[in-house]
Structure 1
């Protein structure tokens, strides 16, 4: 049985300011670092066979904090990056909504219809992320993996496991910073054991 521990990076300065990040990056806030430490404490008893992270600094930094008590090399993968938001990166949610209300609505309500003139669609993300996810399962049979990525990446993997279409990508639960999801697979079937759990959060 392969077990995948899947999480999102901790809160960043742009998360706090409601600014779109995508492939651009913002540093973790003090709260984001604390969230990563809290998850690391929860996962301390787990001996991971491999640790993977998006190559975005916010995800890699989160992975470093989570695994600081484990002598594991964190492998960076560009294929685990957040959706490329093109022209919307660095803009606030309010600016996005004002500049293109149709695509803003599609992004949050009809993701299968969302398009960006300079970025990715959700279909683009699914193609690269699921290829990577299935490749890691095959590479690490009967092992425990930690994957640190981003909201759209995490939701895409969980929707894939549940056989949900992209139009249902944003169905709750929400993926909070460092929320934990656990997937078990025997390479024939895949099952979500935990979805978006934040029980490790301490008083903020």
Structure 2
């Protein structure tokens, strides 16, 4: 049974980031275009028979998952497939804050600081080393293989999915994950 990877819709960070300059939008939410992209994706997944959704705790992924799947299938939040921390938008928020923003989801199982920890730049962004990021990506595949509820959708992020698939997904693109 298939596993589908769905990149989040356009975030406020995606909309304004240019030339590698971080616009300092922490845990960036979706833009109006991102919400529309998620609404279009809702139509595309309708016939896929998805029975379970796992989404990253970053706000743009949670908002995307809720717009696509709320009230249709169970949504679980997990930090395993969070984005590689390299910009402000990849810095997460405390589970208590996420619970206040999204009371319909459970964040209690997350560590207080579930995103990458390390030396921070002057803006409080800890850059995740590539070796740690790639080890995290490799560790995610067995988690997918162990998932018993299928078809399964994973709502996550561009760099993480690029490391899994070998190509960057567009915002709200749906790609089937083929296990090797």
TM-score by length of 2: 0.70
For 2:3, the equivalent position in structure 1 comes to 4
2:54, 2:75 within 8 Å by CA — same for their partners in 1? Answer: yes
For 1:197, the equivalent position in structure 2 comes to none
Is it true that 1:57 corresponds to 2:59 in the alignment?
Answer: yes
Q: Could you report, residue by residue, the CA deviation over 1:110-167 in whole angstroms, capped at 9, with x for unpaired residues?
A: xxxxxx97321222122123312321212327x21100101111101113xxxxxxxx
Q: What is the distance in 2 between the residues matched to 1:43 and 1:22? A: 33
Q: Provide structure 1 residue ranges, at least 5 long, that are not aligned to the other structure.
A: 91-115, 160-172, 191-204
For 1:138, the equivalent position in structure 2 comes to 146
1:52, 1:74 within 8 Å by CA — same for their partners in 2? Answer: yes
For 1:123, the equivalent position in structure 2 comes to 131
For 1:95, the equivalent position in structure 2 comes to none
For 2:15, the equivalent position in structure 1 comes to 16
More strand by share: 1
2:27, 2:88 within 8 Å by CA — same for their partners in 1? Answer: no
Q: 1:45 to 1:27 in 2, by over 3 A?
A: same
For 2:45, the equivalent position in structure 1 comes to 43
For 2:169, the equivalent position in structure 1 comes to 175
Q: Provide structure 2 residue ranges, at least 5 long, that are not aligned to the other structure.
A: 90-119
Q: What is the distance in 1 between the residues matched to 2:3 and 2:23? A: 25
Q: What is the distance in 2 between the residues matched to 1:21 and 1:75? A: 30
Is it true that 1:152 corresponds to 2:144 in the alignment?
Answer: no
Q: What is the distance in 2 between the residues matched to 1:79 and 1:6? A: 14
Measure how far apart 1:46 and its partner are. 2.0
TM-score by length of 1: 0.62
What RMSD over aligned residues (CA atoms) do the two structures have, in Å?
Answer: 2.5
Count matched residues. Answer: 143
Q: What is the distance in 2 between the residues matched to 1:22 and 1:154? A: 23
More helix by share: 1
Tell which structure's C-alpha radius of gyration is larger. Answer: 1
For 1:79, the equivalent position in structure 2 comes to 80
